[in-house]
Amino acid sequence: MIVMKFGGTSVEDAAAMRRVAELVRKELDISRESNTAAPMVVVSACAGITNKLIKLAHAAASGSEAEATALLTEIKSHHFKIVDELIHSAEKAAELRTKLSKYFGEIESLIKGVDILGELTVRSLDTFSAYGELCSSLALAAVMNESGIRTQWCDARQILATTDRFGHAEPLWPETESKLRSIVLPHLEQGTVVLSQGFIGATLSGKTSTLGRGGSDYSAAIFGSILGATKIQIWTDVDGVLTTDPKIVPEAKRLRVMTFGEAAELAYFGAKVLHPSTIHPAVTKNIPVYVLNSKRPESEGTLITNHVASHEGLIKSIAFRRAQVIINMKSTSMLGTFGFMKEIFRIFADCETPVDMVSTSEVSVSVTIGETKYLSKITEHLREISEVDVEQGVALVCVVGDNLRAASGVAARIFSAIQGINVKMISQGASEINVGFAIAEEDLETAVRLLHREFFSEVLEREIFA
């Protein structure tokens, strides 16, 4: 069996849902011909809906109940329009409207409750956020059933058990496996498509939780890993993983194949196709992941697997992160002492702030962070043990490729290509597959274009690049 995950733009409206139904039908026909289990389908919220739900939740907490209600009206209209355009049976349309209206009524109650309390907890925000996936999946399930695809809708909160770290929950594997095998697998083995939601789950006490933004990919990988999927399809609105962001470099090329490690580095450093945690469950079981375009299903997409021929020193893609911060720390007592690094990273850990890049010398340490919620608190504690300087308006650039550390001349080409741009920080030794550096955010697009011209202007290995 396979797992098919569809992102927000793949289910954004009626036309998109029609395309999804046909893609599922095609895979279902293949499973019947090969006498294998039906596919499991995992969907995100319709594009833009999660943002509206978060916005209305914050509006309710700030006392703007009217704004929250207006946003809810927009969300209702969007989903009811899909019902009107896709469900031809009056009886089925009325049934779906009733189910959706139940969820909208629950959101109204949440708005009133948060407005009265004047406080929005992370747990409450998870509850608000989950409704996007619940509504989109209900609509898509109805569309698929009406079009003749036998589909069982399944609430992810009944099958994905998680920790109670709301906003960034992690799966509880034994409990989730038990639920999937008892609730989902029997339907799949009987040839029924199971359609569920990505991103959301529930704690063992039944409280709605989320895996964090982008977590729908993670959900698909969790389900695929436990169910023994032969492949996981991630359907998006791009043709696959590209050599860089086409908004900056329109001529960016598509990668036909790449390793899990390369994909993880790209995802972590800003590539928008995959969620970083998607990779881990697939790596564990060595399940190939395909990144595909639901609007152009004829494109072969990108295959992510461990079975890739080595091309030592070959650059495959350029990723980046905007809005980063460099924190420079200098200790006059660092020379010949120990414990300084431990104290630094304890402070970041206590403030629940991940460090992305690190560079050290005898008496100083520089790090980059992207999460600045606790920046003031971090710098306050750091100043107790060091001199601190903060640089904002920074971008990270990550050049990813095959065994770059062992290939001579790659770093020289990278920095020669951007020789007119000031590089504030460099990190390479920790990874064999990426070279990372920090520059001023205003120089980012120029740097990406120069690097792309340097490494991708010539005809490349056809088995790697389309």
- State how far the Cα of 54 lies from the Cα of 56, in Å rounded to an integer: 6
Q: Which residue has the tokens 């697939």?
A: 282
Q: Cα–Cα–Cα angle for 371, 375, 380, nearest 5°?
A: 155
Q: Which residues pair with 435 in a beta bridge?
A: 399
| Backbone angles phi and psi of 138, in degrees to 5 | -60, -45
| pLDDT score at 100 | 98
Taken in order 71, 74, 80, 82, the sign of the CA dihedral is negative
Quick one: tokens of 71?
Answer: 């946003």
pTM (whole model) above 0.85: yes
Quick one: tokens of 307?
Answer: 């079975």
- State how far the Cα of 166 lies from the Cα of 163, in Å rounded to an integer: 8
Label residue 48 left, alpha or beta by phi (over 0 means left) and psi (-120 to 50 means alpha). Answer: left
The DSSP line for 417-454 is HTTTS-EEEEE-TT-SSEEEEEEEGGGHHHHHHHHHHH
| pLDDT score at 193 | 98
| Backbone angles phi and psi of 379, in degrees to 5 | -65, -35
Walk along the chain (466 residues) and give the pLDDT tens digit of each residue. 999 999 999 999 999 999 999 999 999 999 999 999 999 999 999 999 999 999 999 999 999 999 999 999 999 999 999 999 999 999 999 999 999 999 999 999 999 999 999 999 999 999 999 999 999 999 999 999 999 999 999 999 999 999 999 999 999 999 999 999 999 999 999 999 999 999 999 999 999 999 986 789 999 999 999 999 999 999 999 899 999 999 999 999 999 999 888 888 888 887 776 776 777 898 888 899 999 999 999 999 999 988 787 777 789 999 999 999 999 998 866 555 677 888 999 999 999 999 999 988 777 899 999 999 999 999 999 999 899 999 999 999 999 988 787 677 888 999 999 999 999 999 876 667 889 999 999 999 999 999 999 999 886 677 888 8
| pLDDT score at 431 | 67
Q: 177: part of which helix (H) or strand (E)?
A: helix 173-179
- Is 268 in contact with 433 (CB distance < 8 Å)? no
Among residues 5, 76, 10, which one has the least CA distance to residue 46?
A: 10
| pLDDT score at 266 | 86
| pLDDT score at 410 | 87
Name the CATH topology of 315-456.
VC0802-like (3.30.2130)
Portions of the chain given CATH number 3.40.1160.10: 2-237
Among residues 324, 226, 317, 218, which one has the least CA distance to residue 274?
A: 218
The DSSP line for 117-152 is HT---HHHHHHHHHHHHHHHHHHHHHHHHHTT--EE
Which of these CATH numbers, 3.40.1160.10, 3.30.1360.70, 3.80.30.20, 3.60.15.10, describes 2-237?
3.40.1160.10
Quick one: tokens of 288?
Answer: 């190939």
Portions of the chain given CATH number 3.30.2130.10: 315-456
